[in-house]
Amino acid sequence: MTAVDETIKRVTARRVWDSRGRPTIEAEGHLPNGIGGRAMAPAGASTGSGEAVDLRDAGRAHGGQDVTQAIGGIEREISPALDGLAVTDQARLDQVLIELDGTANKSRLGGNALIAVSMAALHAAASLAGKPLWRHLLGAAPPIVPLPEIQIFGGGAHAGRRVDVQDFMVMAIGASSFGQALDWTADVYRAAGVRLANRGRLQGVADEGGYWPVFDTNEEALECLLCAIEDAGRTPGDDVAISLDIAASEFHVSGRYRLGLEDRELDSDGLCELLCGWIGRYPIVSIEDPVSEDDTAGMQKFTAAVGHRVQVVGDDYLVTDATRVERAATEQSCNALLVKPNQAGTITETRAAFDAARRAGFGTIVSARSGDTEDVTIAHLAIGWGAGQFKVGSFSRSERMAKWNEVLRIEEALGDAAVFAGRDVLP
Ligand code: PGA
Ligand code: ZN
């Protein structure tokens, strides 16, 4: 029997379009015998300053967002550098990508180029093994189907800053399967839409498919969400809980937190107090980036106050970086990691951050970006790595639904072996 050739022969890339109608990269890794893998880079809008940087063409085409240079880099530099490497050795090929780029923030070849290639190679490895990606990653580990965190109202940078808080989400913690969690969330999403329509406040959807928020205060969105859960016939806090992504870096100006909707400014303590008040009045189980990415003292104070009962998630604060996760564990500045592969720039670095979070006893939430595509790689990572939680945006727009639907398929394939993460993944 001849050995299977597992070496990469060529990497190609094309320009495709993301959910905001902006150019992005689709990369393909090619092995002999027609085997290969394909992946697309997503893009954030409320990005952390420590993230891998996308390479975008300057100039007039597509508002300076074009990716022809990044694609050129894949074809001219990355493809020859990966030629002949074993696709099964993800760590080695990611290391080659990192060294070839040569910058601390991946700005030379672009985080968008690197993550598309890194994920395409991962798909090619699964394809070579003849397995779906989630099963290839899972190996002999027990299969855990994640608890979904689903946006109902979008705000912040995803909705023209119409409200300051970025994501008002639900987590169906009382559901007994992923499928049931989606059923309940669909009811809440519909009920919220009916409520807005009845008050003449239905104005379409924001970047991630949540309703465009027309509220007079940030808290009014929480009240409306609570009522929508009840309208859907669910018990708030028991069946369906609330989670928030404050994305506070976005309204942190000169050391103060400026709530534009309410025309007032708070200091770090004031913002923590406001959030603690909400936690007292609403069934909130998770809060992401409660203060700005550079406000470690605020993160520590907030985690000390509520971290025993509420998940405190670092997104902009941790930017999927293992070193930052380790520091946060020492400093006790949060207790969960948002896992966004394109913040890190390669699969290996994403996994390192994930492993650091696990060692620290942190929760782990695999996440999409506000600019995303029909690519469903992250659904496979969430299950293949046993993350326990999955955040993809809202319950509309097909770049979101593609990922929820992929988990449904995997849950079905697992059958009786599927273990739904449920409320136990939260503090
Ligand atoms: P982004 O937002 O993809 O625009 O950065 C998502 C988030 O903050 O979780
Ligand atoms: Zn976030």
The packing angle between helices 268-281 and 218-231, to 10°, is 20
Kindly state whether residue 331 falls inside one of the protein's structural domains: yes
Contacts of 50 (CB under 8 A, 6+ apart): 293, 316, 319, 321, 324, 343
Q: Show the tokens assigned to 84.
A: 């002949």
CA separation for the pair 408, 379 (Å, rounded): 10
Query: pLDDT at position 2, please?
Result: 61
155 and 210, same domain (yes or no) = yes
| Percentage helix, strand, coil for the chain under 3-state DSSP, each rounded to 5 | 45, 20, 35
Domain C-terminal end among 97, 130, 163: 130
Q: Is 411 a catalytic residue?
A: no
Look at the pTM and tell me if it is higher than 0.75.
Answer: yes
166 in the same domain as 36: no
Do 254 and 336 have their domain in common?
yes
Residues with CB under 6 A from ligand 1: 44-47, 166, 245, 247, 315, 367, 369-370
For residue 90, CA distances in Å to 9, 121, 138 come to 15, 7, 15
Low-confidence ranges of the chain (pLDDT < 70): 1-2
Residue 208 annotated as catalytic: yes
> Residue 214: which domain range?
144-425
Residue recorded with tokens 């946060």: 328
Amino acid 270: pLDDT: 98
Q: Are residues 117 and 201 in the same domain?
A: no
Q: CA–CA separation, 277 vs 310, rounded Å?
A: 13
Neighbouring CB atoms inside 10 A of 183's CB total: 13
Query: Could you tell me if 261 and 370 lie in one domain?
Result: yes
Q: Are residues 417 and 297 in the same domain?
A: yes
Instruction: State which of 105, 130, 155 marks the end of a domain.
Output: 130
Who's near 136: CB < 8 A, 6+ residues apart? Answer: 125, 126, 129, 384
Q: Are both 380 and 289 inside the same structural domain?
A: yes
126 plus 148 within the same structural domain: no
Domain count, the chain: 2
Q: Is residue 137 part of a domain?
A: no
Q: Write down which residue in 80, 108, 130 finishes a domain.
A: 130
Cross-strand bridge partners of residue 26 = 14, 40
Domain co-membership, 153 together with 124 = no
Residue 169 lies in a domain: yes
Round to whole Å and give the CA distance between 197 and 204.
10
Digit-coded pLDDT (tens) for 221-249: 999 999 999 999 999 999 999 999 999 99
Residues 252 and 383 in one domain: yes
How many angstroms does the Cα of residue 170 sit away from the middle of ligand 2?
A: 15
Assess if residue 160 is contained within a domain.
Answer: yes
Residue with tokens 């449920």: 422
User: Which ligand gives the minimal distance to the CA of 369?
Assistant: 1
Note whether 37 and 87 are same-domain residues: yes
Q: Please state, in angstroms and rounded to a whole number, the distance separating the CA atoms of residues 105 and 422.
A: 36
Residue 131 CA to ligand 1 centre (angstroms): 31
172 and 282 in a common domain: yes
10 Å CB burial of residue 220 (0-12, 13-18, 19+) is: middle
Measured CA to CA, the distance from residue 343 to residue 370 in angstroms comes to 13
CA of 157, nearest ligand number: 1
Q: Which of 28, 51, 208, 349 is catalytic?
A: 208
- The domain spanning residue 268 has which CATH number? 3.20.20.120
Helical ranges in 53-198 per DSSP H? 68-73, 79-82, 90-101, 111-129, 133-138, 178-198
From the CA of 315, how far away is ligand 2's center (Å)? 5
In a domain, 396, yes or no: yes
* C-alpha 162: how far from chain center: 22
* Vertex 378 angle, CA 228 and 139, to 5°: 120
Residue 291 to residue 311: CA distance in whole angstroms: 14
